[in-house]
Amino acid sequence: MCGIVAYTGTTEAIEILLAGLRRLEYRGYDSAGIALQRPADRADTPNTPSTPSTSSVADTATPASTLAAEPLQVVRRKGLTELVTEADGSTRNKGMIEQLTEAVAALADTDPLRGTCGIGHTRWATHGIPSEDNAHPHRDCSGRIAVVHNGIIENYAKLRQQLTAKGHHFASQTDSEVIAHLIEEQCAGNGGNLREAVRTSVAQLSGNFALAIISADEPGTIVVTRNDMPLVLGSFEGGAIAASDNAAIIEYTRDLIFIDDRCLAVLHETGAIEYYDPAGEPYIPSGYHFDGSIEDAQKGGYPDFFLKEIHEQPRVIRDVIANRFDLKTKTLVFDELPLTDADLAVIDRLYIVACGTSYHAGLIGKYLIENWARIPVEVEVASEFRYRNPIVTPNTLVLAISQSGETTDTLEAVRLARRAGAHVVAITNRVGSLITQEANTVFYLHAQLEVSVAATKSFLAQVALITLFGMFLAQERSLLTGPQIAEIYGEMKQLPDQIEHILANTSAIKTAATACKDATTALFIGRGVGATTCYEGALKLKEISYLHAEAYAGGEIKHGPIALIDPLGLNDPSAQTPVVAVVTQSTTRDKMISNIEEMKSRGAQIIAVATEGDRRIAELADFVLYIPPTRECLSPITASVPLQLLARYIAEMRGTNIDQPRNLAKSVTVE
């Protein structure tokens, strides 16, 4: 839920840390902070005791003399507190990294942030409100040790009580601060060996964490460790670096290193890294060479990542589909799956566990897998699945879908399924993410880094992959023939061009967005896979525009939600409730037309997503967003695109932060 970055080497650390935080901002954007070892510590005052201030040291009101007394330089800022007026008169909230960067610049004359060893953090608040006091890095009582933490310390309350009883003074409401005091305590007991102090402290922590720690008494050294939270390391000519995500590192090195739970790494300014297991013995970590482009993390000319990522979808679908169908044998290929024909034959139930948008991909998966492979499929929100007693046996196949591969509820669902003996297939976008270590089998989406907090391209990739997998299961059970699969696969190959066509013709979507941008609520209706397309469309709209939206199966409308349609809308267009109806060519199109008529006759404003050439819909609806014809089972992939764009345009018109909607984070690593 947070992002950490740490650097030690031969270059000034501040720019490397700020650049890293910019790349990690998607992980949490409540507040940000950095801590640097002062170069002067090495020669002048290695053991001078000092008391850290309890608020931001870089507060411009703080006198420079106080700043110079701090053994470590710490700057922290809470984001979104300052409104900026742009040249065109529009306003926006200043992001936390921008504020942090300005705070650093403001210190240039009084106490410039210099030093070649430091740590940084972007926060998504869990314990304690977003504030500068609760922002990381957190320090011990002496101010000589600073810690950044991603994760949750479950036994922090007990530890805090014990440490307080020993005289430690706490300056924040966070769970993370106990780590700094615990390390201080351990250092005092072991003669000041930071690595050993971190190791013995970590042994006392329950919960999950990725940590980076510096001490004013160990110049040029950073100790990092992790448990159940991502952490990637690398070394290069200019030193050594560690971060929560590849994106903050690949500018310096593409040879990435991963350490196991509760193992430690000690980063040195020479670039050397030592590795230790939880018992303190030397150990060899695993490595991985990353080939992706750094451009992936940049907007590429689009005003926001959300729009950029929508436009990447044709490429993403091409990549997901590529090489899955063997033309010679006319079969779908899922080489990653180690299950034999006999293993697959005894599968009698399939669970799909996921959260949010990934759950919606799972709902589409259920429809397709049951239709083609005739295996009963249950789709369950991971946070529910993990707390009940689901019927999972060794004959159950579990698909765990998680774009980030870090969602705690999904990870716990995976663990539960593994304990019950099921084979777990993870569908994820993140190479090396936690889910890849927990599942038996991994299908990668290869959608490349998704920066926008609200998912778009990863969702379409999930749907495309699960469509292929549904056909694969049917193939293995001899329920779909080679020619049947070849026909559907052939149509799938047209999807990228169809999406490009939608992206090139957006004027009707913009007009519809203008008409309903001021509404207070919107309804989405569809049937079959059209209903699940609507669930995702409504989620996108509320997430990024904050316009309240609900999605229903078309047949459910008259059982309650129709009461939301205000009859005033019959005479007053401004009172009309927008109803987005997905009514593409399908077995239930005529039923949907009846549902639209029911809503229209009560004063709703109809925005229909329909198949090109469907004139009847044009007579009924106020706005029609046409999509190219495709078979029903593939329609979620195209029909989702105008809904993503509708949400995007409405959000833009309402002036929200599209890439970083309030209260959300890209990786939800808390329950």
Chain residues that interact with ligand F6R, rule: CB under 6 A: 355-358, 402-404, 407, 410, 454-455, 543, 668
In the three-class reduction of DSSP (H, G, I as helix; E, B as strand; rest coil), residue 443 is classed as strand
- Give the nearest distance from C-beta 123 to ligand F6R in angstroms: 18
Alpha-carbon distance 408 to 342, whole Å? 33
Would you please indicate which residues are annotated as catalytic (active-site) residues? 2, 666
Nearest approach, Cβ of 274 to ligand F6R (angstroms)?
Answer: 33
The C-alpha atoms of residue 159 and residue 154 are separated, in whole angstroms, by: 10
The full DSSP string for 110-164 is: TS----SEEEEEEE--SSS-SSTTTSSPEE-TTS-EEEEEEEEETTHHHHHHHHH
Q: Which residues pair with 611 in a beta bridge?
A: 627
User: With the C-alpha atoms ordered 362, 364, 367, 370, is the resulting torsion angle positive or negative?
Assistant: negative
The distance of closest approach from Cβ of residue 323 to ligand F6R in the complex, given in angstroms and rounded to an integer, is 24
**DSSP per residue over 321-341, as a string?**
HTT-EETTTTEE--TT----H
- Which residues are registered as beta bridge partners of 286? 258
Minimal distance, residue 299 CB to ligand F6R, in Å: 18
* Nearest in space to 642 (alpha carbons), one of 593, 599, 581, 565: 581
End-to-end Cα spacing for the chain: 11
Peptide bond between residue 137 and the one before it cis (omega within 30 degrees of 0): yes
> Which amino acid does the sequence have at 502?
I
DSSP letter, residue 639 = H
The answer to whether 378 and 351 are in contact (CB under 8 A) is yes
Cβ proximity of 296 and 437 under 8 Å: no
Reduced to 3 states (helix: H, G, I; strand: E, B; else coil), residue 123 is: strand
In the bound complex, what is the minimum distance in angstroms from residue 436's beta carbon to ligand F6R?
13
Nearer to ligand F6R, 625 or 668 (CB): 668
Return the number of the residue (37 or 402) whose C-beta is nearest ligand F6R. 402
Alpha carbon 291 to its chain's center: 21
Residue 264 vs 455, nearer CB to ligand F6R: 455
Output the smallest distance, CB 404 to ligand F6R, in A: 3
Q: What are the strands, taking DSSP E only, across 361-456? A: 377-381, 396-402, 423-428, 441-444
Q: By C-beta, is 572 or 671 nearer to ligand F6R?
A: 671
Tell me which residue has tokens 């304990």.
419
Q: How far is the CB of 427 from ligand F6R (least distance, A)?
A: 9
The residues with which 309 forms a beta bridge, in sequence order, are none
For residue 326, the minimal CB distance to ligand F6R (Å) is: 29
The CA-CA-CA angle for residues 411, 2, 141, to 5°, reads 120
| SS3 at position 465 | helix
- For ligand F6R, give the closer residue by CB, 268 or 457: 457
Q: For ligand F6R, give the closer residue by CB, 56 or 403.
A: 403
| Closest residue to ligand F6R in the complex (CB) | 356
Nearer to ligand F6R, 221 or 404 (CB): 404
Give, as one character, the DSSP assignment of residue 193: -
Q: C-beta of 671: minimal distance to ligand F6R in Å?
A: 12
**At closest approach, how far in Å is the CB of 482 from ligand F6R?**
33
Half-sphere exposure of 454 (CA within 13 A, CB side): 30
- Spatial CB neighbours of 417, under 8 Å, sequence gap ≥ 6: 351, 353, 392, 396, 398, 400, 424
**Tokens in use for 146?**
């600073």
Cβ-proximal residues to 464 (8 Å cutoff; 6+ apart), any chain: 316, 317, 320, 321, 492, 495, 637
Token pair 């307080």: residue:
164
Residue 455 CB, nearest distance to ligand F6R (Å)?
4
SS3 track for 40-65? HHHHCCCCCCCCCCCCCCCCCCCCHH
DSSP letter at 180 equals H
Q: What number of helices (H) and strands (E) belong to the chain?
A: 22, 28
Check if the beta carbon of residue 427 is closer than 8 Å to that of residue 465. Answer: yes
Closer to ligand F6R at the Cβ: 307 or 562? 307
- Token duo for residue 475: 């193939």
Q: Check residue 424 and report its DSSP letter.
A: E
